[in-house]
């Protein structure tokens, strides 16, 4: 298949349901009467914010939901979506602020919808989750205390999932999944989207260093299930007033379990650090606070710590390269796809220019300061 065909397939993979069609899905599959529906931003699936009309049967239930329509590629793997749903339910039962998964009229957690597009029949997996209130972290000034708590949350989530069991759990071994951090070499297929410039040179250097320094260490990392996408739009917060009258934020929601896969503890820390750097005024300082929070639950080994710098650079490369590539496929979604790129290239260049030793010194000194009770 030519790369043009491949691009066309990927471009067609994202669902294009209208609001009327999405309302019909909610009513026919989940038996709820829609009063209002509006699209939500998304990467390659389609999401809708759904308000339902109250009836005597739904008086006590929630009135806001999120309808998630998986792209045609993900929809071919119902086992994976089912496992994600059960993880969301498992974490909620364990006290994490995740959504509730709604049952279909047939008492399932997903339903496969077949739509005639005029030229072919396309199938999409649909599911309905309760809507979580709160603001994305991207919309607030993030304190060092909140960064620490997010690091703690990432570790607690991975630790809780050690106890998760499901007959289809093997579906999380997603060997060629582009968003698993161990698949950085797969980015070579997409770097042409960057053109010829310094950004591309950095990406190619990171890929090469990853092959030399990370691939050889993977067997020494401790394996776990990763959320894999604790970004600044997937963590919600709500505020309360402190004794001094200013706003104090607590995590109130964790969204989007679509990138879950088997990975390693150190991957979760690296991914979280990278995304929390995006909105920060002091991006290089972020890593130490996240690391301190994470290590208060799961201390990293020396070999895991030594890989952290390159793993954060690698996640920047994943996000930035795939955003550039996806913009070629979906120019209409450019604003959402380029969120990371607004500051991401600058942060990656800064890390690269400073070098591993200098960045690690800041991270590790900051993390160490928490042990003495004086956070930097």
Residues forming the active site: 229
Please give the backbone phi and psi of residue 58, each rounded to the nearest 5 degrees, phi first: -110, 15
Tokens describing residue 2: 């030519």
Ranges of beta strands (E only) in the chain are 34-40, 46-52, 64-69, 111-116, 121-130, 135-136, 223-226, 235-241, 247-254, 261-264
| Separation of alpha carbons 251 and 232, rounded Å | 12
Q: What are phi and psi of 72, to 5 degrees?
A: -65, -30
Q: Give which of 363, 196, 175 is closest to 287, Cα–Cα.
A: 363
User: Distance (Å, rounded) from C-alpha 124 to C-alpha 67?
Assistant: 12
What is the spatial distance between Cα 345 and Cα 86, in angstroms, rounded to a whole number? Answer: 36
Residue 307: count of CB within 10 angstroms of its CB: 23
CA dist 301 and 223 (Å) reads 13
Q: Is 119 helix (H, G, I), strand (E, B) or coil?
A: coil
Say how many residues make up the chain.
376
CA atoms within 13 A on the CB side of 335: 3
CB 344 within 8 A of CB 321: no
CA 118 to CA 301: how far, in whole Å? Answer: 55
**Max Cα-Cα span within the chain:** 66
Coil vs helix vs strand at 135: strand
The burial of 336, by beta-carbon neighbours within 10 Å (0-12 exposed, 13-18 middle, 19 or more buried), is given as middle
């Amino acid at each position: 298949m030519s790369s043009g065909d491949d691009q066309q397939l990927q471009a067609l993979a994202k669902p294009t349901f209208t609001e009327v069609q999405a309302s019909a899905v909610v009513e026919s599959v989940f038996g709820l009467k829609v009063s209002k529906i509006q699209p939500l931003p998304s990467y390659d699936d389609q999401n809708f914010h759904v308000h339902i009309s109250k009836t005597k049967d739904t008086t006590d239930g929630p009135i806001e939901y999120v309808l998630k329509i998986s792209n045609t590629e993900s929809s071919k793997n119902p086992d994976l979506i089912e496992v994600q749903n059960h993880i969301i339910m498992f974490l909620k039962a364990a006290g994490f602020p995740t959504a509730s998964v709604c049952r279909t009229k047939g008492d399932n957690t997903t339903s496969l919808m077949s739509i005639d597009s005029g030229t072919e029949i396309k199938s999409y997996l649909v599911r309905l989750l309760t809507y979580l209130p709160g603001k994305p972290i991207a919309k607030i000034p993030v304190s060092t205390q909140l960064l620490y708590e997010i690091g703690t949350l990432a570790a607690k989530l991975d630790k809780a999932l050690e106890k998760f069991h499901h007959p289809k759990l093997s579906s999380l071994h997603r060997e060629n999944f582009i968003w698993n951090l161990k698949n950085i070499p797969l980015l070579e297929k997409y770097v042409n989207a960057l053109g010829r410039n310094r950004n591309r040179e950095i990406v190619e250097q990171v890929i090469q260093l990853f092959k030399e320094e990370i691939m050889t260490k993977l067997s020494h990392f401790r394996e776990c299930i990763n959320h894999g996408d604790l970004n600044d739009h997937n963590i919600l917060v709500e505020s309360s007033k402190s004794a001094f009258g200013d706003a104090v934020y607590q995590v109130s929601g964790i969204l989007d379990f679509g990138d879950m896969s088997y990975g390693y503890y150190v991957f979760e820390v690296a991914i979280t650090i990278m995304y929390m750097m995006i909105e920060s005024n002091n991006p290089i300082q972020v890593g130490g606070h996240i690391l301190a929070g994470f290590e208060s639950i799961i201390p990293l080994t020396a070999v895991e710590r030594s890989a952290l710098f390159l793993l954060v650079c690698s996640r920047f490369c994943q996000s930035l390269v795939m955003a550039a590539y996806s913009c070629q496929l979906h120019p209409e979604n450019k604003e959402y796809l380029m969120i990371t790129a607004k500051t991401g290239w600058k942060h990656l260049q800064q890390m690269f220019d400073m070098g591993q030793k200098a960045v690690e010194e800041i991270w590790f000194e900051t993390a160490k300061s928490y042990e003495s009770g004086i956070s930097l």
